[in-house]
Amino acid sequence: MEPIIKVENLWHTYPTGNITALREVSLNINRGELIGVIGQNGSGKTTLVKHFIGLLKPTRGKVFIDGEDTEPLKVQQLAAKVGYVYQNPNHQLFARTVQEELEFGPNNLGVPKEEVQERVEQAIKFFGLEELRYLHPYRIGFPLRKLVGMATIYTMKPDIFILDEPTTGQDNITTQKVYRLIKKLRDEGATVLCVAHDMILLSEVVDRMLVLRDSEVIMDASPREVFSNNEIMASTHLAPPQITSLSLNLRKNKNKLDDVVLSVDEMLALSKDSNQKEKI
Amino acid sequence: MSEKKPVIEFKDVTFWHGGGNEKPAIKNINLKIYEGDYVALLGLNGAGKTTLQLCINGVIPNSIMGDFEGEVIVYGKDTYDTPVREMAKMVGMVFDNPEFQLSQMSVAEEIALGMESLGFSYDEMVETITEVLDIVGLQGLEERSPFGLSGGQQQRLSIAAALAMEPKILVMDEPTSNVDPIGKEEIFSVAAQLNREKNMTVIMAEHEVEVMAAYANIVIVMHEGEILLNGTPEEVFSNVELIQKLGLRLPQVTEYAHRLNQLNLASIKKPYPVTLNSAIERYKDIL
Amino acid sequence: MQGIVIPISMVPGNSAIHRMNPLPKLLWTFGILALSFSTRNIAVLGIAFAIGLLLVFYSRITSAYLRVALILFPISLTLITLQSIAPAFPRPWTTIAAFGPFNIYQEGIYSGISLLLRIMAMTTWAMVTIMTSHPSDIFTSLKKIGMPYVLNFILVMTLQLIPILQNEFGTVLNAQKSRAMKGSGFGAILPSMVPVFVGAIERVQQLSISLESRAFGSTGQKSSFRQVRMAFSDYFVMALGFVTTGLATYWVIIDKSLDWSKSMTFSPIFAVSLVLSATIGFLVFVIFAIRAALSA
């Protein structure tokens, strides 16, 4: 099957100051993948994902979305396929009510009136915004405002969601809700990319991680592989989740990947196994 | 142990934000914080953490409109009738959005701003700027624009600007929520260093429970304006059920202990481990 | 990270003008301002403009200066077009040529040229001052001669906010494009303004709490970190500026023979071609500006 995002030898240089922000990036992302993009600020991760929606164009190399070269396409055209949820919801919201906010995207795409309403209903249900529907976006507290930001993209029904720091500044209740929503998006068939520093999100939610450092993708692997690679973790100043560190410290066979856990649940499953073995 | 005097004391403090709010932002707060404490303040958004923190340097009730009841005593002074300039010499504040705290054209001028208001001499300012930049690790950036720094650097600059007035208490409101991992590491380590080496009292609101468990000696859990738990990290986090009911996270190793017990896979005694190192010690024989 | 450029800001350099204290530069600029408003004499304004240009070359800020001047000059050309048909002069007006329903007047041409020179002279001197002085030094100097502390802070903050809001506006515009925003122009820009303003308000609220926590705004003796020293040469240049511009202003006010509005006559061919080229120059600029705005 054709990958939904295909990046071929992508370079990007910003005109101001001639800074190379991306160097020789090649990768494929398949439909339905749930991917975490990590790296420090300035590592190139935002530059990379901005190419997927056409906010930036390659200096060298090619980016294909669903088989189509993004070079001649405008952001407004790519928006039908790629949804970009900004880190700060304030950058996206401006309408008088949540309802209007949700209609804005599909209206721009020329979706028929009835279908727009249908999508708005779906989005309200999906994100649980029933009570906020007729409120002004700025009267809604930050955690929920961020969900509204996601919902405005949801009504555009893109194949690909790019979520920039979806859990930053959120407390645990909303964070857990966002984790569930991200998984649900994938279950509905979307491809989801999370640009994030949230280690729990990366360990418990995503299937694959792209690690960027100094304008290059230095690792493209499963979270289990990334978190157990000390060298990568140290050089990117990332710390694995506490439970992962515990398992890394306690595992007897240093090369056995199965003994690296990504969540408390996995740790318990491992403990159960070893318990049973003892009993036998 | 001799009787220590608290450096911060809340006596029955309740505060309603202006504009006819029926529910107080914080209510019946009684709290004592001692010199050199590293206090982690946990709670959901809207639990009252920020309000409580703004009471410490007197911005509440002096500048933010609302109804205030009770007393906050900082180093023996009642915040209600102590001018800002006096409070700034005792309490430094750092907020969550790095950029929103900055206004000047260069790092040096940013740090000097508060000192200018207090009438420091030029020589004092130059000396202090060098000193505080050294503490936060921003040496050599004096002439740079604050707005060209990374988030972590901006937060450290805010810390430096607060330190210029030689406060004894550093209050930080989710200082790492808008910075990348390297920035987080920088901020946590500067705060820990100030606490350890200068015996500075640190009060930090933060969502990262694992990091707080490692650094703080006191954890306070707030919910709907009230303090529900207050104690050492081990004591507080051992209240697993209450904390989970409030919707807060536990350190993963603590949650693990609780669930091992629940599933009868082991019997871990309270207080549960909260840090990685203590967990390695406790679990190495079970697994 | 995107580079942000404020069009009028300091151009680093090490010319004698760069090294000078901002106060004498400010005094000269105000002197030229006073002189320019006191006369319509083309020669006097032309000389002030020419000296300003010499200073631009001397302090090596030419390219930065031209970036601003190339926008300002074509816009100012409209003065010639408008003044020539409706002079800001007491009647009677002398007609030179007729353009359908419009008459081109002698006084209008004179007034147009002098207003254009007046604007160019003043802005050139102001740009030399701004582009060769660190903004902090200018503000510190102003504080020294009695500008209130808080007003000074507001000015510094505003100067900082411009590039920040510009950047923010770019982000918001991209966010709207990502939502397939249709159209361009004002209708599209308006929705993007809302988030920028809301953000600015939040920023100011947060900043005020943060500043207060740092004792800003407390009463009592203030001091200044930024030190601007006045060298002997600075005092000299300042005195020279005061005397020169003062005397020149006095001279242009009392010497009635400097009123050339009647004595300096223009031929009809010169007048018509001047008005036409000014109008065309302005229109060409407008077309370029619109095209640049559309492609952005």
Query: What pLDDT does residue A143 have?
Result: 85
Q: Rg of the Cα trace of chain C?
A: 24
**Edge-to-edge strand ranges of the sheet holding A34-38:** A82-85, A160-164, A191-195, A34-38, A208-213, A216-221
Q: Residue A246 and residue B251: Cβ atoms within 8 Å?
A: no
Q: Given C1, C172, C180, which is nearest A91 (Cβ)? A: C172
Task: Tell me the ipTM for this assembly.
Answer: 0.89
More confident residue, A31 or A277: A31
Burial (Cβ within 10 Å: 0-12, 13-18, ≥19) of residue C4: middle
Token pair belonging to A158: 């893109």
The beta strand positions in chain B, using DSSP E, are 6-17, 26-34, 38-42, 66-74, 77-78, 91-94, 169-173, 201-205, 218-223, 226-231
Please enumerate in sequence order all residues whose Cβ is within 8 A of that of C239, keeping only pairs 6 or more positions apart, or say none. none
Chain A touched by B173 (CB under 8 Å): no
Scanning the structure block, which residue is given the tokens 């406790």? Answer: B282
Contacts of A17 in chain C (CB under 8 A): 3
Q: Which domains does chain B have, with CATH numbers?
A: 6-250 (3.40.50.300)
Q: Residue C178 and residue A84: Cβ atoms within 8 Å?
A: yes
More confident residue, A257 or A36: A36
Chain A touched by B279 (CB under 8 Å): yes
Chain A touched by C199 (CB under 8 Å): yes
> Which chain A residue's Cα is nearest to B173?
A169
More confident residue, C136 or A193: A193
Q: Residue A75 and residue C177: Cβ atoms within 8 Å?
A: yes
Indicate the range of C2-16, C171-185, C270-284 predicted with least confidence. Answer: C2-16
Chain A touched by B19 (CB under 8 Å): no
Percent of chain C with pLDDT over 90: 44
pLDDT band at B3 (very low <50, low <70, confident <90, very high): low
Does pLDDT of C4 surpass 50?
no
Q: Residue A241 and residue B252: Cβ atoms within 8 Å?
A: yes
> Which chain A residue's Cα is nearest to C170?
A91
Q: Given C171, C174, C179, which is nearest A108 (Cβ)? A: C179
Percent of chain C with pLDDT over 70: 94
Q: Residue B95 and residue C217: Cβ atoms within 8 Å?
A: no
Query: What pLDDT does residue A41 have?
Result: 85
Chain C touched by A142 (CB under 8 Å): no
Query: What pLDDT does residue A175 have?
Result: 94
Task: Tell me what the pLDDT averaged over chain C comes to.
Answer: 87
> Which chain A residue's Cα is nearest to B175?
A169
Q: State the chains in contact with B (3 or more Cβ–Cβ pairs under 8 Å).
A: A, C
Q: State the chains in contact with A (3 or more Cβ–Cβ pairs under 8 Å).
A: B, C
Query: What's the sign of the alpha-carbon dihedral C174, C179, C185, C187?
Result: negative
Evaluate whether B70 touches B12 at the Cβ level (below 8 Å). Answer: yes
pTM for the whole structure = 0.86
Query: What pLDDT does residue C6 have?
Result: 54
Does pLDDT of C241 surpass 90?
yes
Distance from CA of C176 to the nearest CA of A (A): 6
In angstroms, how far is CA B125 from the centroid of its own chain? 26
pLDDT band at C185 (very low <50, low <70, confident <90, very high): low
Mean pLDDT of B279-287: 83
Contacts of B161 in chain C (CB under 8 A): 214
Mean pLDDT of C220-237: 87
Query: What pLDDT does residue C296 have?
Result: 55
pLDDT band at C161 (very low <50, low <70, confident <90, very high): confident
Contacts of B112 in chain C (CB under 8 A): 225-226
Q: How many angstroms separate the Cα of B265 from the Cα of each of A270, B254, B276?
A: 11, 15, 20
Mutation for B interface: C214, C216, C219, most B CBs within 10 A: C214
Q: Given B103, B114, B117, which is nearest C157 (Cβ)? A: B103
- Condensed to tens digits (0 to 9), the pLDDT of residues B143-202 reads 999 998 988 999 999 999 999 999 999 999 999 988 888 889 899 999 999 999 999 999
Q: Given B96, B177, B252, which is nearest A243 (Cβ)? A: B252
Percent of chain A with pLDDT over 90: 78
Does pLDDT of B205 surpass 60?
yes
Mean pLDDT of B205-232: 96
In angstroms, how far is CA A16 from the centroid of its own chain? 28
pLDDT band at C1 (very low <50, low <70, confident <90, very high): very low
Q: How far apart are CA B84 and CA B77, in angstroms?
A: 12
Query: What pLDDT does residue B52 have?
Result: 97
Percent of chain B with pLDDT over 90: 82
Domain range summary for chain C, segments of one domain joined by +: 16-133+230-295, 148-213
Q: Residue B114 and residue C214: Cβ atoms within 8 Å?
A: yes
> Which chain A residue's Cα is nearest to C184?
A76
> Which chain A residue's Cα is nearest to C196?
A91
Query: What pLDDT does residue C146 have?
Result: 85
Q: Residue B45 and residue A41: Cβ atoms within 8 Å?
A: no
Q: Please report the number of interchain residue pairs, chain B to chain C, with beta-carbon separation below 8 angstroms.
A: 110
Contacts of C182 in chain A (CB under 8 A): 76, 108
Mean pLDDT of A48-58: 95
Q: Residue A250 and residue B260: Cβ atoms within 8 Å?
A: no
Q: Residue A40 and residue B283: Cβ atoms within 8 Å?
A: no
Q: Given B150, B184, B276, which is nearest A246 (Cβ)? A: B276
Residue A213 pairs with which residues in a beta bridge? Answer: A216
Scanning the structure block, which residue is given the tokens 């693990």? Answer: B256
Query: What pLDDT does residue B31 have?
Result: 97
Query: What pLDDT does residue B1 have?
Result: 45
- Condensed to tens digits (0 to 9), the pLDDT of residues C60-76 reads 999 999 989 988 999 99
Token pair belonging to C254: 């009392």
pLDDT band at C3 (very low <50, low <70, confident <90, very high): very low
Indicate the range of A5-14, A32-41, A154-163, C85-94 predicted with least confidence. Answer: C85-94
Backbone angles phi, psi at B229, to 5 degrees: -135, 145
Query: What pLDDT does residue C186 have?
Result: 65
* C137: Cα within 13 Å, side-chain hemisphere: 20
* Chain C residues 175-194 within an 8 A CB cutoff of chain A: 175-182, 191-192, 194
Q: How far apart are CA C192 and CA C186, in angstroms?
A: 10
Mean pLDDT of B71-86: 92
More confident residue, C217 or A137: A137
- Condensed to tens digits (0 to 9), the pLDDT of residues A170-179 reads 889 999 999 9
Please enumerate in sequence order all residues whose Cβ is within 8 A of that of C219, keeping only pairs 6 or more positions apart, or say none. B83, B85
A21: closest CA among A214, A193, A221? A214
Query: What pLDDT does residue A225 have?
Result: 95
Burial (Cβ within 10 Å: 0-12, 13-18, ≥19) of residue B230: middle
Residue type, B106: S
- Condensed to tens digits (0 to 9), the pLDDT of residues B169-186 reads 999 999 998 888 888 989
Chain C touched by A83 (CB under 8 Å): yes
Mean pLDDT of B119-127: 94
- Condensed to tens digits (0 to 9), the pLDDT of residues A204-246 reads 999 999 999 999 999 999 999 999 999 999 888 888 999 999 9
Backbone angles phi, psi at B11, to 5 degrees: -120, 105
Q: What angle do helix axes A113-127 and A142-154 make, rounded to 10 degrees?
A: 140
Mutation for B interface: A246, A258, A270, A278, most B CBs within 10 A: A246
Classify the phi-psi angles of C67: left when phi > 0, otherwise alpha if psi is within -120 to 50, otherwise beta. alpha
SS3 string of B80-135? HHCCHHHHHCCEEEECCCCHHHCCCCCHHHHHHHHHHHCCCCHHHHHHHHHHHHHH
Q: Given C3, C178, C195, which is nearest A90 (Cβ)? A: C195
Per mean pLDDT, which of A57-66, C100-109, C214-223, C284-293 is the most reliable? A57-66
Distance from CA of C292 to the nearest CA of B (A): 28
